[in-house]
Amino acid sequence: MKLGEIRETKPMDAELRRYLDAIGATAPIPDGAMNAERVQMRRALMMKALEDRDGAIPGLPNGVATRDVTISGWLTGRLYTPADAMSPLPVLVYLHGGGWAAGSVETHDPFCRLLCEAAGVIILAVEYRLAPEHP
């Protein structure tokens, strides 16, 4: 696939729909404050989604090369390189979603694989520490 080409759209996966519905029920409280119970609930939902995923996801570019790296001290990340990479490639630094309180490189791995292949770039996904334990 070449940069700028649009892929055929497909209906949303039923598992993804269930997950999105579940996290929608834990949306931030109106004033935007995150309490410890809500943070734990979001983390548990993300971990359940990871556990339910058994190995490679059909349709993902599972041929994307990955390598876990140490960036500095406690800061780690994962490098994603397109399967047919020709050097040099641009690098995109990716900070996963989760409101700085939930998520991980692992929970966002499928998205990073898709983005890496579609954009034809190397991605460095950063595994940062989460709040509230690390404000």
Tens of pLDDT along 64-90? Answer: 899 999 999 889 999 999 988 887 899
Asked whether residue 51 carries a pLDDT value surpassing 80, the answer given is no
pLDDT score of 30 more than 50: no
Q: Share the mean pLDDT of the chain.
A: 76
Average pLDDT value for residue range 80-103: 83
Residue by residue, DSSP assigns the chain as --TTPPPPP-PPPHHHHHHHHHHHTTPPPTT----HHHHHHHHHHHHHHHHH--SSPTTS-TTSEEEEEEEETTEEEEEEE-TT--S---EEEEE--STTTS--TTTTHHHHHHHHHHHT-EEEEEEPPPTTT--
Write down the pLDDT at residue 5: 65
pLDDT at 48 over 90: no
pLDDT attached to residue 106: 83
- Taking the model in full, what pTM does it have? 0.61
Does 16 score more than 80 pLDDT? Answer: no
